[in-house]
Amino acid sequence: MITTTKTSLIPSWVHSFEDYRAMFDLTDIELDRKILDYPASVSSFNAEMVKAGHDKVISADPHYDLEPMDMSKHVDNVIQRLATQLHQYANRIHTEREKTLEDILTVWNQYAQIFVTDYSQGRLENRYQVAHLPHLPFADFQFELALCADLVFRNETASPQLAITELCRVAHEVRIFPLLDEQGKVSDKLGPLMLTLQEKNYGIEVREVPYKLQRGNNAMLRLWARECVL
């Protein structure tokens, strides 16, 4: 059985609140929904949402069993690992927001520090919870919306259909970003996966989104179980 583990869930990017709004095309109304962010990694989304007055987000990740000191070390390791890989994305990055790769590393560290600062309190408030596929520790349709970044098409250890089916179990609607593989091309898994899910009576939409940082990386996959009323 395929599972998501700590070693298999290393992100390819460090995201902020504004990144999530663009990646998942989130409206102001949707920000007030009950949201699951999985796998949340070292994203600052939850921390920034709380600061903005939105307190219905649960971020879940296999790494969230780490104590704060260990999480701080983990974050440093993630940033270091991503820094060594950043050159892979150099020819895919628009320069309107971050002019150099060094600038990207700077904002990644800023986002990660926001997460680390919030992590201890967030765990106490159950905003950061440990979770692994294939079975997420949440009730059926506990969430109105599930956001899934850097998993389905960029992680070879995660079964796309398994991940999506489980996310659709716990949330009325699931949004997945990106649809590109690690080479920056539309994943060859996307077409067969969409066909399989349609045959299983899932509603599917590929939607253009306003995320502009990476060239060609401006679409998300939106899914829902048809028996659910949206």
- Average pLDDT of span 87-104: 67
Burial of 39 (0-12, 13-18, 19+ CB in 10 A): buried
Give me the chain's average pLDDT, please: 87
Domain range summary for the chain, segments of one domain joined by +: 17-225
- Average pLDDT of span 175-179: 94
Residue 97 scores a pLDDT above 80? no
CA 19, CA 209: separation in Å to the nearest integer? Answer: 11
pLDDT band of residue 85 (cuts 50, 70, 90) is: confident
Can you name the CATH fold of 17-225? Rossmann fold (3.40.50)
Select from 32, 39, 41, 34 the least CA-distant residue to 75. 41
User: How many other C-beta atoms lie within 10 A of the C-beta of residue 228?
Assistant: 12
Burial of 117 (0-12, 13-18, 19+ CB in 10 A): middle
pLDDT reported for residue 198: 93
Q: Residues 205-221: pLDDT tens digits?
A: 999 999 977 766 899 99
pLDDT band of residue 159 (cuts 50, 70, 90) is: confident
pLDDT reported for residue 156: 57
Strand arrangement, sheet containing 219-225: 128-130, 57-61, 35-37, 143-149, 171-177, 219-225, 202-208
- Average pLDDT of span 155-178: 87
pLDDT reported for residue 183: 73
Q: Where are the alpha helices (DSSP H) in the chain?
A: 17-23, 45-51, 68-85, 101-124, 160-170, 190-199
